[in-house]
Amino acid sequence: NAGVMQNPRHLVRRRGQEARLRCSPMKGHSHVYWYRQLPEEGLKFMVYLQKENIIDESGMPKERFSAEFPKEGPSILRIQQVVRGDSAAYFCASSPGGTGGEYEQYFGPGTRLTVT
C-alpha cells in the first residue's frame, strides 16, 4: 500500500508565477489535509478537504491560495502570484476518517517551494 504521494518534491518559482502542488492520498483515504512549515517553525494547518468539499480552510491565507480535492485525481494546492514569503515546505496528510474518530494522519514527503 503506497503512502501519501506528493509532487513535485522541489519547486522553484519566480515572484509572480503560480505554484501547483499535488497530493495523492493513501489508498482508501478520502480525507486530505495541507500544512505549511516555515523555516525553524512547526507545521501550521492550512486546509482540510474531503472529496469535492472543503471542510475547514481556517488556516488558508485569504488571498492567492486555494485548494481542491476533485472526485477524480489528486488534491491540488494552488498559490497564485507567489512571493518570497511563500517559500516553505508544504506537507499533505491523509486519513481514512475525520471529525470525532480515532484517525491518525499519514504524511507525505512534502514539497519544498522556493520563490526567487
Partner 1 sequence: AQSVSQHNHHVILSEAASLELGCNYSYGGTVNLFWYVQYPGQHLQLLLKYFSGDPLVKGIKGFEAEFIKSKFSFNLRKPSVQWSDTAEYFCAVNAVSSASKIIFGSGTRLSIRP
Q: How far is the CB of 100 from partner 1 (least distance, A)?
A: 6
66-105 residues near partner 1, rule: CB under 8 A: 91, 93, 95, 98-105
Q: How far apart are CA 14 and CA 5, in angstroms?
A: 25
Q: How far apart are CA 82 and CA 11, in angstroms?
A: 12
63 φ/ψ angles, rounded to the nearest 5 degrees: -125, 155
**Secondary structure (3-state) at 62:** coil
Single out the residue of 42, 71, 72, 85 in contact with partner 1 (rule: CB under 8 A): 42
Q: Is there binding between residue 36 and partner 1 (CB under 8 A)?
A: no
Q: How far is the CB of 43 from partner 1 (least distance, A)?
A: 4
Q: 37: which 3 cell numbers?
A: 512549515
CB neighbour class for 91 (10 Å; exposed up to 12, middle 13-18, buried from 19): buried
Total residues in contact with partner 1, by rule CB under 8 A: 29
Single out the residue of 43, 60, 79, 82 in contact with partner 1 (rule: CB under 8 A): 43
Interface residue list for partner 1 (CB under 8 A): 31, 33, 35, 41-45, 48, 55-56, 58-59, 91, 93, 95, 98-110
